[in-house]
A and B are shown apart, each in its own frame.
Chain A
Amino acid sequence: MSLQLAPDGRLKHLLTIDGLPRRLIEELLDAADALRHVALRGNKKLPLLRGRTILNLFFEVSTRTRTTFELAAERLSADVVNLDVASSSTSKGESLLDTLATLEAMHCDMFVVRHPDSGAAHFIAEHASPGVAVLNAGDGRHAHPTQALLDAYTIRRHKPRFEDLTIAVVGDVLHSRVARSELRAFGILGAGELRVIGPRTLLPPAIEELGVRVYTDMDAGVADADVVVMLRLQRERMRGVFLPSESEYFRRYGLSRERLALAKPDCIVMHPGPMNRGIEIASDVADGPQSVILEQVSNGLAVRMAVMSHILGAQVPQLEAGA
């Protein structure tokens, strides 16, 4: 019944982490591992998706995310078309379905979709013709599955046994598709303890039912954590009904060196970017030895290559022993 899983267990689309088997996630992370080594070579291109066309369909402006998807597709030798719909057809009144029909006529193999509505990727997958795969690059507050996979991948490289880990996700969980997908992914991978930390205004009311422990006190929530994921605070939330001010937020929930010292000594610090320095994270933490934030970015490329290859049925070469 799953929209994204084929009967043989492969992904037809990647819309959400929800419902993915652990083995499949691990397989994708293994493939990312193999592909990461490509990026370190001189010739960075693989012929895996030669002759395939991937359309980046962004209904929400995002240069960074779009660039990593674009680069991932190019590294796999696919043809890439970028379409910023935010500034084109739909603003002229064309319906989403009309836009899709037009784009399908171009015979693309995959739509990489970002959209401000939760559920938009599902909607597009439901209505796209059978030959088109949909890769969700972020839909509203719902899901951002490749970000969750790349974060899981980054954690695994540093701390391979999820069962032993206490992972804290800090900040605006309410509006965050990254948090929703991460909490799912870390849960499926068997994380020892999942925590969310933030003021009640930024936490969905029923979040406890998703198997996480809720902390409104940052110091208590960070204590003894192995991984701290800081979420981006959207500018429009910083002043108003959710929060009184940026400075108060940083005082109560910002990750400073002193706070990080409460976590395990080898705790890693993550952030999906772009960061607001001095609002959710102090600069010396973001640039400090425990930060893996830049590594996340390069891992994102490998993970997106792995997902694209998997969905479009290309065989990723196994990692050679000792590589």
Chain B
Amino acid sequence: MIAHSPRTTRVLIRGALVRFPHLGIDRVGDVLFEPGRVLALDPDAEQAAGAEIVDGRGRWLIPGLVDLATRLREPGATHKADIRSEATAALLNGITHVVLPPDTQPVIDSTAVVELILRRAREGRGATVHVLGALTRDLGEDSLAELGALRAAGCIAVGNIGHALGNTNLLRRALQYAASLDLSVHLQPVDPWISAGGCAHEGRVAALQGLAGIPQTAETLALARDLMLIEESGVRAHFGRLSCARSLALLADAKARGLPVTADVAMPQIYLNEHDVLPFRSECHLLPPLRTVADRDALRAALASGLIDALCSDHQPHDADAKLKPFPSSEPGASGLDSFLGLGLKLVGEGVLSVDAWLQRCALAPRRILGLPPPTLEQGTVPDFVLIDAVSENPLEASTMLSRGKNTPFRGWRLPGRVHLAAIADRLWIREP
């Protein structure tokens, strides 16, 4: 079992394959650090004397992964999960930073809520929690949230994640206002009118099963609209959870024209498609819905090419009852923290991504999107890395999942990757040998 190590003062990771592609490091080495501070890469014997030794042989030391969308369910739905449980689950799964979307209850549209979340996060021993403020008050259609105050309270960016914004005039003003504050905006493009009432991709499977459909235009229309408004306002924008091949063409065009936009895709979209919903599997009730095989393949290609900048877990932990309902009435979303490392490594195993590209999509690009500096191993910097066994495979089972939400469509999958050490700032966990 992996355990928190408050007693430790200095740790020497010995003989690990250190893979920090952004620093040009990909070789076996030793890392000496203490909670809160990196002491040395390849220290001499004198420096390392007395340190607790962690065997790194056959393991990779990599930058901590970063998840751009992690529902912590606090405040508002602590029967599903809470900040402490999920931030800890994230860190133990190799994720050192998580981003909490604003659709908590209450919505993150006031400084009080931001302060509450950041305080709870600091009390825990898990991943660093970053907060996305709401773009509009109550994520609604009427007025702007106090974006300046939200930033001052510590929000890393703002966005409409969790609510499809239909009021284009409000959106336009919000983007202009965010641009004038130099705030990044995270958008999940969904047309609220076209997607209303839907629970599955509008296609063959939904037609067959009689499930209310969400067409691709629900995403592409909103994306096209958002891109026009981004171009006009000049705001920096990140698109979360793209699901359609057609969206990729719009994104490529925007990037080619030099718009300051980035995008991510949720891990399930890379592995699953509309057919996985059969026969009414509520674990596969996701938003955006699982789309066609062609969409999935296009998303994979865009991930490989870098058109899609990042992968996220889109973590949405649920209590068991939320999914124990007929498909349309079940709550959408999948618990993603416990499979984020494994499914990422599996993409490497399948040849979709190189190791470098995987680290870019899951660790480095998300930091750029958030404006966080990349981790280094220079003396005096803050530790932000994990030591993993990238090879051995384990089945994903509810009993071994660390998130309180056991709702995963990947249950039973054998996934590579096992975290042996995770360090972020002054929090440190080491697996007992």
Contact = CB atoms under 8 A, between A and B. Distances in A.
Interface of A: 3, 18, 95-97, 115, 117-120, 122-123, 127, 139-143, 177, 180, 204-207, 209-210
Given A118-B280, A119-B280, A122-B280, A96 B210 contact: no
A170 to B, nearest CB: 17
Nearest to A123: B326
B20 interface: no
A205 to B, nearest CB: 6
B385 interface: no
Contact of B324 (A95, A118, A140): A95
Contacts of A207: 207
A95 B206 CA distance: 25
Given A3-B279, A95-B321, A141-B212, A119 B328 contact: yes
Contacts of A97: 324
Nearest to B279: A122
B203 A141 contact: no
15 contacts: A95-B324, A115-B326, A117-B329, A118-B212, A118-B280, A118-B328, A119-B280, A119-B326, A127-B324, A139-B326, A140-B210, A141-B210, A205-B203, A206-B206, A207-B207
Nearest to A97: B324
Contacts of A209: 204, 207
A119 B204 CA distance: 16
Interface string B154-166: 0000000000000
Given A95-B321, A123-B325, A140-B211, 9 more contacts: A117-B328, A118-B209, A118-B280, A118-B326, A119-B326, A119-B328, A204-B202, A205-B203, A205-B215
Given A118-B280, A142-B209, A177-B210, A206 B203 contact: yes
A231 B152 CA distance: 59
The range of chain B's interface size is 20 to 34
A143 B326 CA distance: 14
Contact of B204 (A177, A180, A206): A206
B208 A118 contact: no
B280 A205 contact: no
Given A118-B326, A141-B212, A206 B207 contact: yes
Contacts of B212: 118, 141
Given A117-B328, A118-B326, A123 B280 contact: yes
B11 to A, nearest CB: 48
B327 A119 contact: yes
Contacts of A177: 210
B317 interface: no
A180 B215 contact: no
Contact of B207 (A120, A127, A210): A210
Interface string B54-84: 0000000000000000000000000000000
B189 interface: no
Nearest to B280: A119
Interface in B126-171: none
Interface in B192-244: 202-204, 206-213, 215
